[in-house]
Each structure stands twice: as C-alpha cells, then as structure tokens.
Structure 1
Amino acid sequence: MTRSDGAAVQIRGYLDHLAVEQGASAHTLAAYRRDLEKYRLYLAESGVGDLGAVTESHVEEFRARLATADPDAGRRALAPSSVARALAAVRGLHRFATRDGVTRVDAAAAVTPPRPPRRLPKALPVDRIIAVIEAAGGTEVDTDPARLRDRAMLELLYATGARAAELVGLDVDDLDGLDLPGGGTVILRGKGGKERVVPVGRPACDAVGAYLVRARPALAVRGGPALFLNARGGRITRQSLWNVVSVSAERAAVGPDVSPHSFRHSFATHLLDGGADIRVVQELLGHASVTTTQVYTLVTVDTLREVWAECHPRAR
C-alpha cells in the first residue's frame, strides 16, 4: 500500500467494520460513504494520502470547508446538521484507525461538530392524521389492492410510530395476534438491527388483516416474506411510502409537508398529551437515550398552556 492510496484503503476498512461488526443499515453506510469520499478528496487536495499524516488542523479545516460556500468551486455551504453528520463519519473513522493501531493519535478527537438549531417536530392533530389515513381509501367495500395496502401502511405507521425504513422492512412473520380483541403486536427493527415489540391497536389490526386477506395475495406474484408489496410483487420502498403519505395528505387537504416522519412525531406527541410516561414513549420509539425523546415534551407545552388557562383560577 502506497501513501497515496492509504486513506482510501483505511476508509474501506472502516466501512466494512460498520457493515459487518456494527450492523449499520444500507442507508447509514451510503451516507458515511459519501461523506468520507468528500473527506478523502479534501485530504488528497491537501497533499495527505494516509490517515497517519492527518493533524487536528486538517480536520478543523475540513469542517470549516463544509460550512462555507465557494461559488468558484461550485460548492454550497452545508446546513449545520449535514456538517455534524459528515464530521461524525470523520470522527468515527479516526477513532477506528487509532483503536486498530493504524494511527498513533486520534486527530479528530478534539474537533466538535456544530450544534444544529433545535427544531420542534411537526406533529399533526389527531383529526388530521385520521383524515390522511382515510384519504388513502381501503374501506370495507374497497377492492383495489393498492388502496387496501396504503390504508394498512398508514394505520400501522400511526399505531406504532415506526420509522419509514422499519415499516417497509416488515415481514409477514413480524406480526402477531392481529385477530385478538385487544389488538396485536409487531416486531420493529431499528437502528443497528435492534428489535422492539410494539402494540398494534384494533383499527390498524383490522386494516392490515384486510390487506393480508383481500390484497396481498393479488400482489404476491413471486413470493417472499415482505409484508407490504408493490405492483410487481417486490418489497415496497421508502420512496413509495413517502409518495403514499404525500398523495393521501394532498387528498385530505392537510398540507404539503406531511411525511412518514410526521406520523412518528404525531404518535409520540399524542401519547405524551394523553399522559404516557416519557420512558414508555422512549421504548416505543426505539430511542437509545431518553434525551432524544425529550424533544417531544416541548411540543406539548401548548397543550399544557391550554389546560392551565382553562383550569387555573387566576389564569384570567
């Protein structure tokens, strides 16, 4: 290995480590690969071909470059969240290289990512969530397999708070007890392959049951375990799920910015509004830390203010 291709080889080794040992998803690996390719090109422009020659100043300069526009080079400034993601990839790479003895010093250890502005999740009121679900179709008299599937997907999104990737990754065998009076359960596989079991209420169970009986057999032209299928019989994609949500939201006249994640935000916010313990919501969402879940408590401040204004004797 020459010094000119050392960084490329070291980056490939790190990505292999993420895939094999850490169980990183294909989406995460693709994002890290893009960010680390930018880093490799930057190092090459700086005359650095091996991670052992990288200094803290190189990493600091790379962070600054990502956040700064350069019209002459056709480069736009990245948002703080994108800079933070790229720097996370770089920090992980150097930490891995140091741990494995490829480098003696972790050049990125002291370089901190920018702090993105804290944005509140966009949660929809319950009536709007229901309107979007109903706009998908899939009624008792519906015979269109696509509409039955779309209704089942949206019901399950709201019932479980699943991420888009978790929902489209479901297999039929991940469902249990759909015919029970109190509802069933579903196994969701989150980040890093971590599994969690989430309850599924009666409306979602009924919608999924209708899809399994009246729609999936017509779509399953080539077999396979996937729960939600496209018109060709393959597993439905995240992009298709986004399209289903967008089209249904447009039909319901709810707004243009509704996404699968809107259902996840609404799931969490409505649980907290209903008095759910934040630790329970953390488990249902699959968050590793309750700190991540706490952002949803900020969304409920308006509800608290309304209750206070209605009930406190000195509110007026």
Structure 2
Amino acid sequence: MTSPLDVVVDDYLAHVRTERGYSEHTVAAYRSDLADLLRFAEEHGVAEAGEIDLPVLRDWLWAATERGLARATIARRAASARGFTAWMTRRGLVPIDHGARLRAPRAQRALPRVVAAPALDEALARLEARAVATDDPIDVRDVAIVELLYASALRVSELVGIDVRDVDRRRRTVRVVGKGSKERVVPYGAPAARALDRYLELGRPAILERARKGDGTAAQRPARTTSNADAAFLGARGARMGTRSVYALVAGVLAEIPGTGPSGPHTFRHTAATHLLDGGADLRAVQEFLGHASLGTTQIYTHVSAERLKESYRTAHPRA
C-alpha cells in the first residue's frame, strides 16, 4: 500500500532540495503547486499516492483553468506534477508514471521589458546624485546594487547571496551561485567598480557601525551569524539584504523611467542581455554570462533585438 499523499510530497520536496540542489525559490513553487494538488485530490477522495492517475491530474488542471489562472501558471503546475509523478515511479511508489502523459497549454512568452541605454544612464545618474547629496550609506549601497544588477546581469537571488569574498575588485569580477547551485564568475565594468568600491570601503562599514550603535534592544540588534557577517549587501540593521528589499529598490528606480512592463530586478538582467547582443556579443558568450543551461533560453533576447530593429526600421525607413 502506498503512503499518504502529504508524506510523499514532503519526501519529494526534501529530495529536490537536497539531492537535486534546487533553490529555495524553486522548492517553494513546487510546494505551492503540490499543496494545491493535494487539496484537490483529497476533495475528490484521493488519499494515497497510487490513486493519482491521469484523470485526476487532468481534472486538477481543468479546475485551475476554470478559476481563471494564467496559462503560465497552469503550465508550471503541469511541470511540477510531472516531476512529482516521475519521482514516485522511480521510487517504486507507483507502477505507472501517469504524469508523463499530462499536457498543459503552452505558456505565452511575452518579450521582456528592456530599458533604453540613455534612459538607464539618466536613472543611474539620479541615483548617484542622491547618494552624493545625502552621503547616506544606504543610498551608497543602492547605487552599487543597481549598477551591479545591470553590469553583470544578475538574478536577484544571486545578488543577495554574494559574500564580500566573492567580489574580486582587482579583476572586476564577482562569483555568484545560480540555479541548480551552479557557480559562475561574471565581470562588471568601471561604473559598477566605482560604485562597489565606494560601498565596500565606506557604505558597508557605516551600515554595520550604525547597526552596532542601535539602542541595544533585541528588535534593533542584528543577528550575529556567519552568513550576515560575510554578506556583501546589508540591510539597515546589518543583516544580509533580502530579495524583497531589492525588489522595492528597483521598482522605485524603474518607476522614474518611461515605459511599461515588469518593474523587478529581472528587468536589468533582460536589459543587459539585450544590450550585449545589440552590441555584437556572441549568443553563446551571452548564454554563459547569464548562466543559462540551454541556449534556447538565451535566444529570447535575439527576438527582443529583432523587434527593436523592426521598430527602428518602421520609424526611420522612408518606405517602411
């Protein structure tokens, strides 16, 4: 007899975290999808792993469609279910991998938002001017963050995971841990170097000193962990900066730039990749720079470049 569903799901999540090396963000997405499957299965009288068959999985996706969930969300849920049922089959918990036949509508892939170089330069100049005017270490930190996000096309999880020792200021490179716990070393340019040097030499120590001089209450005293002590980018209380704080910072910067679309840190990653290809960079070099496992993932930026070219053609060519 197979195990109850909740036990099997917990075992699977432990597997993808420890043995597959998936990030906490990915594990959280799997947990959310499979928790929804668990609720649906229990509502339909399914309590054992062996009872999850193709009709149950199809009905689950259909119910999500009826609730108006986006195609991308449904496609992700189908992928989560397929990974789960494949693992159960390998473990011998079920005789047949029903999820292997599960299909979902292909997610519509919108072209990512790309910020024009002049507009980005103006936004970064405003951020730098504010840091100079206030001389606040948090403002100094913010300049370094935005410069590095664009210069090295980092994911937000990669940025907040950087330790001080990961930054090679002499070579102008930074070591990051990407998806699947894969490490890579990426370069950054002169503007990012100036911003990082100022932050690491002046801003970061000032943040730590400010946190140390707090009123000494438990609410203000920073956590004294190795992770926090090593972290490159710190929050106001001296602990490692979180992704939410980076999202809030970037949203404020992008709000001042004309244009529509996503306003998260990934916009700088998209922008950097597109600007590299516009400047003549090799597609495989950009793939390595971004840390993409598949060249197909990187090719989305060739579509962006093509669309930008067509737009320029339509506005500039007399016979367009």
TM-score greater than 0.5 by the shorter chain: yes
Counterpart contact for 1:246–1:256, Cα < 8 Å: no
Give the equivalent residue in structure 1 for 2:220.
none
Shift of 1:142: 5.3
1:289 pairs with one of 284, 294, 297: 294
Q: What amino acid is the match of 2:204?
A: R
* 1:107 corresponding residue in structure 2: 98
Structure 1 residues 255, 62: closer, same or farther in 2, change over 3 A?
closer
Please identify, of 40-49 and 220-229, the stretch whose mean Cα deviation from structure 2 is larger. Answer: 220-229
Q: Does 1:43 align with 2:34?
A: no
Partner of 1:74: none
CA distance in 1, matches of 2:82, 2:183: 27
Map of 1:141-180 to 2, 5 A cutoff?
A: 143-176=135-168, 178-179=169-170
Provide Cα deviations, 1:185-238, integer angstroms capped at 9, x if missing partner: 111211111111111111101100000111100112456100000110011111
**Superposed counterparts of 1:106-255, under 5 Å:** 106-137=97-128, 139=131, 143-176=135-168, 178-179=169-170, 184-220=172-208, 221=212, 222=224, 224-251=229-256
Conserved? CA contact 1:146–1:215, under 8 Å: yes
Contact 2:113 2:262 in 1 (8 A): no
Which residue is equivalent to 1:280? Answer: 285
CA change 1:257–1:308 in 2 (3 A) is closer
Contact 2:152–2:186 (CA under 8 A) maintained in structure 1: yes
Query: Is the partner of 1:30 in helix, strand or coil?
Result: helix
Q: Kindly indicate which of the two structures has a greater share of residues assigned to helix.
A: 2
**How many Å separate the matches in 2 of 1:52 and 1:273?**
52
**Which residue of 265, 268, 273 maps to 1:263?**
268
Q: Deviations over 1:225-279 (max 9, x none)?
A: 0000011001111111111112223345666843211101100000000011111
Contact in 2 for aligned 1:249/1:258 (Cα 8 Å) = yes
Query: How far apart, CA to CA, are the structure 2 residues paired with 1:12 and 1:42?
Result: 17
Contact 1:308/1:315, CA 8 A, preserved across alignment: no
SS of 1:85's partner is helix
Give the deviation of 1:170 after TM superposition. 0.8
Cα distance change on mapping 1:257 and 1:16 into 2, 3 Å: closer
How far apart in 1 are the matches of 2:301 and 2:261?
Answer: 22
The one-letter code sitting in structure 2 at the alignment partner of 1:262 is T
Contact 1:132 1:254 in 2 (8 A): no
Q: 1:315 to 1:253 in 2, by over 3 A?
A: closer
How far residue 169 of structure 1 moved from its aligned partner, in angstroms, is 1.1
Alignment correspondent of 2:55:
57
Root-mean-square deviation (Å)? 2.3
Using the aligned pairs only, state the percent identity: 39
2:82 matched residue in structure 1: 91
**How far did residue 152 of structure 1 move?**
0.1
* Gap change, CA 1:315 and 1:279, over 3 Å in 2: farther
Say if 1:202 and 1:257 are closer, same or farther in 2 by CA, change over 3 A.
Answer: same
Q: Is the 8 A contact 1:169 1:226 kept in 2?
A: yes
**Count of equivalent residues:** 302
For 1:108, the aligned partner's letter is G
Q: Distance in 1 between matches of 2:194 and 2:272?
A: 19
The 2-side partners of 1:45 and 1:135 are apart by: 54
Among 11, 25, 32, the residue aligned to 2:23: 25
Q: Is the 8 A contact 1:272 1:297 kept in 2?
A: yes
Name the CA distance, whole Å, in 2 between partners of 1:99 and 1:34: 23
SS at match of 2:230: coil
Amino acid at match of 1:40: L
What is the deviation of 1:303?
4.3
Confirm or deny: 8 A CA contact 1:35 1:86 kept in the other structure: yes
Residues 309 and 62 (structure 1), Cα distance of their counterparts in 2 relative to 1, 3 Å cut: closer
Rounded to whole Å, the distance in 1 between the matches of 2:82 and 2:206 is 48
Gaps of 5+ in 1: 70-76
Q: C-alpha separation between the residues in 2 aligned to 1:40 and 1:252? A: 43
